[in-house]
Structure 1
Amino acid sequence: MRVCSLFSGGKDSTYALHWAVLKGFDVACLLTLRPYRVDSWMFHYPNVEWTRYQAKALGIPQVIHDTSGVKDLELEDLKNAFESVKSEFGINGIVTGALLSDYQRMMINIIAHELNLRVYSPLWRKSQVNYLRDLYSHGFRFVLTSISTMGISPRLLGKVLTLSDIEELIGAALKYGFNPALEGGEGETFVVDAPLFRERIVIDDGEVRKLDQYSWIYVIRSLHLEPKVLVE
């Protein structure tokens, strides 16, 4: 199966890519949709311009398509992007990190079906608490890049989350009623290391910005790739 992996740079799309490689799929490329609007219904916005460093660390070609970010119109952008990578890379499947959003999964499936592409969503309806813990134990490291809900401390923004931080996030989700894996838009992440990364990402500089009472964003200003130290 030759596939394209929808890639936002966050934990879910990175894990879905990891799953595809472990399953023996031929991942021809990463497809990143870059929205013009922060409130896109379909696509990840914060720090998406830095995904090119993740693609380099992975050693997988990346295709970036701009999208209006406007509901419904961005679906046409997605269809055009699928058509483009199908033609260029000869793919017959799409891998997504969809976890809980019925809207996102349904729209991707409908568009892919129109183009005779199969869709694989390995995270769909997984236990989100177990998933977060598994991410850490399997070597995924990521920073929190946005918050849009009560209960998440802004001190976690821009920090490579430890297992203790993840447990804090899970506890807050249970207390305040938000999705622990942040699938409902309560937060966004940016992966700095993963098992498939040939190099790890080091964020050199960033800025925390407050948008309103419960909304914050972490803007990456600079980063670099660093060789991974092999432990014998």
Structure 2
Amino acid sequence: MKATVLYSGGKDSTYALHKAVEAGYQVVVLSTIIPFYKYSMLYHKPSFNVVQAQAYSLGIPLESIGVYDEKLELDALRNLLRRVRDKYGVKILVTGAIASNYQRTRFKAIADELGLELYTPLWGRDPRSYLEELLDYGVRFLVTSITSMGIPLDMLGREITMSDVERLVKLAEKYGFNPSFEGGDAETIVVDSPLFRYKLVITGEKSIVSEFEGYFEPLRIKLAGKNLLL
């Protein structure tokens, strides 16, 4: 069946895409919503240039919509999904929701309204084992924002490793954040995964707002070749 992934370019939506392909769905389009305000309870705020590069690397068309008022977030989702349903014949909506009922219930309501089936392959994952699974699977990602006490600001702008996972789990026990970043404690950009035909090489600049808030802004994106094992 034809599917679309609600795609932010972060680790969760990228891994959900891979799990959907494994499950036999034909992902024919990526659907990206871009909030033009600082905080959104519903969406990860993507860098559009990065998502464009990721879509090119994946070889999957990208459809997007901007939203300028959080009161219109569901309208934006409804309009985007109606577009991809009618244009691409999509029957399945894939999302990377892990533990947020706020997200899942709203995504399901819009999917039901449009006659789409909701597929959430990551739902209920244990945060620690999930991060380890991501890295073992070959999903490589950078941290682009931190907005929670306890997450080290030195992680901004660099690729997360297994040793970082150990560190995050220990700090999460102390400070109470979600080590898989569910709920917006931090945001990520995927630079490589098994389905990527090219790696993303991203350079940018950091800005530190406070002892628990910082951001990495991608300024330059290059696509690099990778060796594929056939």
| TM score, norm. by length of structure 2 | 0.96
Report how far residue 85 of structure 1 moved: 0.6
Cross-structure match for 2:199 = 200
Q: SS where residue 144 of structure 1 aligns?
A: strand
Q: Does 1:55 align with 2:55?
A: yes
The CA distance in 2 between the partners of 1:137 and 1:75, in whole Å, is: 35
Matches within 5 A, 1:94-133: 94-133=93-132
SS in structure 2 of the partner of residue 210 of structure 1: strand
| Residue 2 of structure 1 pairs with residue 2 of structure 2 | yes
Unpaired runs of 5+ residues, structure 1, are none
CA distance in 1, matches of 2:228, 2:88: 33
> C-alpha offsets along residues 125-182 of structure 1, whole Å, 9 cap, x if unaligned?
1111100000001111000101011111111111111111122112211221110110
For 2:15, the equivalent position in structure 1 comes to 15
Matches within 5 A, 1:145-160: 145-160=144-159
Q: Judging changes above 3 Å, is the alpha-carbon distance between structure 1 residues 21 and 231 closer, same or farther for their aligned structure 2 residues?
A: closer
Letter paired with 2:207: R
**Pairs aligned (count):** 230
Question: 2: distance between equivalents of 1:46 and 1:73?
Answer: 17
Within the alignment, does 1:221 sit opposite 2:219 as a pair?
yes
Residue of structure 2 in register with 1:137 after alignment: 136
Q: Which runs of 5+ in 2 are unaligned?
A: none
One-letter code aligned to 1:34: I
Q: In the superposition, relative to structure 1, how do residues 48 and 42 fare at CA in structure 2: closer, same or farther (>3 Å)?
A: farther
Name whichever of 43-52 and 126-135 sits farther off. Answer: 43-52
RMSD over aligned CA atoms reads 1.3
1:117 is aligned with what amino acid? Answer: L
Partner residue, 2:89: 90
TM-score under structure 1 length normalisation: 0.95
Give the 5 Å matches for 1:164-175. 164-175=163-174
1:159–1:53 CA distance, 2 compared to 1 (3 A): same
Q: Distance in 2 between matches of 1:65 and 1:149?
A: 28
